[in-house]
Amino acid sequence: MNSHVATKRGRHNASLLLCLRRHLLSYVIMRFNDLVTGVSPNDLMTAQPNDQKTRSAELTVSEAEMRRSTKLEVVLFDMDGVIIDSEPLWTEAERQLLARRMLEYSPQLKTAMMGRDAKEAVGLLINHYNLSEGVDEIIAERNQLIAELFKEHLQPVPNVLELLRSVRDSRIKTGLASSSPKQLVELAVNKLGIIGLFDLVLSGDQVARGKPAPDIYLAAAGKLGVGPDNCLVIEDAPLGVAAAKAAGMCCLAISTSANESELTAADRVVRGFGEVDLQLLQDLVQHRTQRSQSTQRNRRPCGWG
């Protein structure tokens, strides 16, 4: 009889010990959740379905960090076709260059050359027309022609300077990242009197590879001390859009030089800067990051976290 009672007591004690262990484990888990998310167990019990604390509690540490880091910190502008209305001037310069050789300008070359650095663009021109001169010689002549046209006819793209000043007034950094040679970039910004509106100016001859390689945009972000996720690029050329996306940056395309159908790789395409304000730029960066977070969550295998 005594042996039977002892056995029952032993089983009862073991059951109590197991129960205590379970309660202790639950408490540790809840406290850990409290430390990670900043939400206490009581908050979770009383929160409504749409309560911000509940939504925060559902985030992992990495997702919360990504959300905090998605602030727009830098807007990077291409120059030709974005800051300055120069594409018709480039066409005229190349028409004059070819006319000197009794050749007719081919509009089909415009899209292929647009957005490339000087050496690549002139290389296409030489190959297409089988010109006898070397790349450097043609570049010098082309630059001389476009410089004269800049001095006489250069104008900003409508409404872009208003956007640029709005970005600056919001203490968001700005950069100019152009495929054009340094001397032409300096000529353009000085003529328009806008050099003071940029924290950084980079030209195509200051990086190893031209667009569509991401070099110029990655270099700009590095010099400004921000990551690609915090940058937004404004482009007008398909190759420029490709460079921005290759750099891992959000991209707004303006169809001043190319058709909208050629710019679909951008996060958003607009017809002009009259459709753009600072809020749109901030929303594009935030929504792009949220889509990225959603994609990462959907790719997690079963049992993650």
| Residue 11: φ, ψ to 5° | -65, -40
**Nearest to residue 222, comparing CAs of 207, 237, 210, 234?**
207
| Residue 79: φ, ψ to 5° | -100, -65
**Nearest to residue 202, comparing CAs of 74, 84, 79?**
79
In a 3-state reduction of DSSP, which class is residue 86? coil
Burial of 213 (0-12, 13-18, 19+ CB in 10 A): middle
Is 78 noted as a catalytic residue in this protein?
yes
- CA-CA distance, 243 to 216, in Å (whole number)? 8
Alpha carbon distance, N-terminus to C-terminus of the chain:
51
- CA-CA distance, 262 to 235, in Å (whole number)? 12
Which one of the listed residues 34, 51, 78, 229 is annotated catalytic? 78
What is the SS3 string spanning 110-138?
HHHHCCCCHHHHHHHHHHHHCCCCCHHHH
Give yes or no for a contact between 171 and 287, defined as CB atoms under 8 angstroms apart: no
Q: What is the CA angle 166-170-171, rounded to 5?
A: 120
- CA-CA distance, 163 to 289, in Å (whole number)? 23
* Residues paired with residue 202 on neighbouring β-strands, in sequence order: 177
Active site residues: 78
